Amino acid sequence: MPRKTNRRRFLSAAAASTAAWTILADSRSAFGYQANEKLSLAIIGAGGRGAANLQGVQSENIVAFCDVDQRRAAETYARYPDVKKYADYRKLLDEMDKQLDAVVVSAPNHIHVPATVTAMRMGKHAYCEKPLAHSIAEVRLAAKVAAEKGVATQMGTQIHASENYRRIVELIRAGAIGEVRECHCYLRSSRSAGDRPTDTPPIPDGLNWDLWLGPAPERPYHPCYVPHDWHYWWDFGGGEFGNMGCHYFDLAFWALDLRAPKTIEANGSPPHAESTPAFQHVCCHFDARGQLPPVVLTWTHGPKETVDEKSELPNWAWGVFVGSEGKLLVSYDKHMLLPAEKFEGFQPPQPSIPPSVGHHREWIDACKTGSPTTCNFDYSGAVTEAMLLGNIAYRTGQTLEWNAQEARFPNCPKADDLLRREYRRGWEL
């Protein structure tokens, strides 16, 4: 069973985690595999996003599956009839310890770190879906354990492997639009949840609701949580920002060499104690980094009409870098320099960032050879932390000053309570 954690352990580990992130970027394989040997993998979360991640690692030896919802996992299970199946990842890890090299975790956000850290403490390499964690304390713990165990890690921001992202980063770094002091990200979506339902329909056959809750507080089953809309409840997810922010902020962090914001402010729909906002605006202020100037990185999500009016972006674009010499519009698969007349005939820099072997393949290679991963828990922990900080600023209604080294808010001690979450008895880390 997982070991216990508490406030004292978290605070004592917080300062060490910054160094841990640095160490992790050069971590070596824990097993020293030959490149042509297959890893023995457990897939924790076999339906939904887990099925997509399975496609990325199917070249390896799949030895166990875990899913609390047999309905969601049914298609995957049918393809692998001889592979062991579990409903409780703790039992899987206990029983399969000596047969496992690594885990792929694709369960809901509130399960990410409990499953991933438990596996890493056993010396297993870990691929974890985005966002890495459900709280700042979990981010720091995941980075610390990964560094201590020297395991290969990767967060599932697969767009990071795209050629388009590489070309955008090269343009920014080459100074194509001059000094960049602003980057704005927009999501045209306003999904939310509202009040907790009062009706208590029966739990569907095949769903183990107690295991689905895992470390989260007990509450009755309702279809408003499963299989997808848990994203919009604070006990399980982080809203639209928590769900999509990693993909968008990833590009800004990479291109602008960002780490931890100094101050964070946020506003949006009236805060709800249990559910996430339909509209949210977050503003993260980063200090200068060496020769790079200070940067303001923002996130806005809401109804399409509202976002389009605020962003003034074409439909294909979700973000814009604002430089002293122009703008760079971006999306997953396209980018555009503006003003168009200024950049007519512009020759982009020669590609300097090597193409990716594939996001999952990169992690598999790292497990076997100790080669680096681009979204290891060092880098991806910082990206995830910025989103979690934005949600804390929104929930408290305060402009927050963030001391990343000490993991606290000097100007708002009450916000420190949102840095961690309580685990249900039996699920402590």
Q: Is 125's pLDDT higher than 70?
A: yes
Residue-level pLDDT at 35: 63
**3-state percent helix, strand, coil for the chain, nearest multiple of 5:** 40, 20, 45
From the CB of residue 290, how many other CB atoms can be counted at a distance below 10 Å?
5
Tell me the backbone φ, ψ of residue 377, rounded to 5 degrees: -70, -15
**Closest to 394 (Cα-Cα) out of 412, 421, 379:** 412
Mean pLDDT of 360-379: 98
Mean pLDDT of 44-49: 96
Distances (CA, A) of 340 to 178, 188, 329, 337: 15, 25, 11, 6
pLDDT confidence bin for 32, thresholds 50/70/90? low
Residue-level pLDDT at 3: 36
- Percent of the chain residues past pLDDT 70, beyond the cut: 92
Mean pLDDT of 139-144: 98
pLDDT tens for each residue of 342-355: 999 999 999 999 99
pLDDT confidence bin for 14, thresholds 50/70/90? very low
Contacts of 2 (CB under 8 A, 6+ apart): 90, 114, 117, 118, 121, 427, 428, 429
Task: Judge whether 283 and 264 are in contact, CB under 8 Å.
Answer: yes
Phi-psi region of 255 (alpha: psi -120 to 50; beta: other; left: phi over 0): alpha
Q: Is 427's pLDDT higher than 80?
A: yes
Distances (CA, A) of 255 to 168, 252, 292, 337: 8, 5, 11, 15
Task: Judge whether 216 and 424 are in contact, CB under 8 Å.
Answer: yes
Task: List domains and CATH numbers for the chain.
Answer: 7-160+357-376 (3.40.50.720)
Mean pLDDT of 412-424: 98
Residue-level pLDDT at 214: 99
Residue-level pLDDT at 417: 98
pLDDT confidence bin for 145, thresholds 50/70/90? very high
Q: Which helix (H) or strand (E) holds 377?
A: helix 377-396
Mean pLDDT of 311-332: 98
Mean pLDDT of 260-284: 98
Mean pLDDT of 131-145: 99
As a whole number of Å, the end-to-end CA separation of the chain is: 9
Q: Is 15's pLDDT higher than 50?
A: no
pLDDT tens for each residue of 56-114: 999 999 999 999 999 999 999 999 999 999 999 999 999 999 999 999 999 999 999 99
Contacts of 200 (CB under 8 A, 6+ apart): 220, 221, 222
Q: Is 19's pLDDT higher than 70?
A: no
**Closest to 328 (Cα-Cα) out of 169, 101, 160, 104:** 169
Positions of E strands within 1-135: 40-44, 61-66, 84-86, 102-105, 125-129
Q: What is the mean pLDDT of the chain?
A: 93
Residue-level pLDDT at 24: 34
Mean pLDDT of 34-42: 87
Cis peptide upstream of residue 131 (ω within 30 degrees of 0): yes
> Which long-range contacts does 288-292 make (Cβ < 8 Å, 24+ apart)?
289/256, 289/257, 289/258, 289/259, 290/257, 292/256, 292/257
Q: How far is it, in rounded angstroms, from Cα 169 to Cα 84?
A: 43
Q: How far is it, in rounded angstroms, from Cα 334 to Cα 204?
A: 42
Q: Is 5's pLDDT higher than 60?
A: no
Q: Is 18's pLDDT higher than 50?
A: no
**Closest to 276 (Cα-Cα) out of 218, 187, 190:** 190
How wide is the angle at C-alpha 413 spanned by C-alphas 410 and 417, nearest 5°?
130
pLDDT tens for each residue of 147-192: 999 999 999 999 999 999 999 999 999 999 999 999 999 999 999 9
Q: How far is it, in rounded angstroms, from Cα 371 to Cα 298?
A: 33
Mean pLDDT of 360-386: 98
Tell me the residue type at 171: L
pLDDT confidence bin for 36, thresholds 50/70/90? confident
Residue-level pLDDT at 34: 67
Task: Judge whether 48 and 72 are in contact, CB under 8 Å.
Answer: yes
Tell me the residue type at 138: E
Tell me the backbone φ, ψ of residue 85, rounded to 5 degrees: -120, 140
Q: Is 404's pLDDT higher than 80?
A: yes
pLDDT tens for each residue of 374-386: 999 999 999 999 9
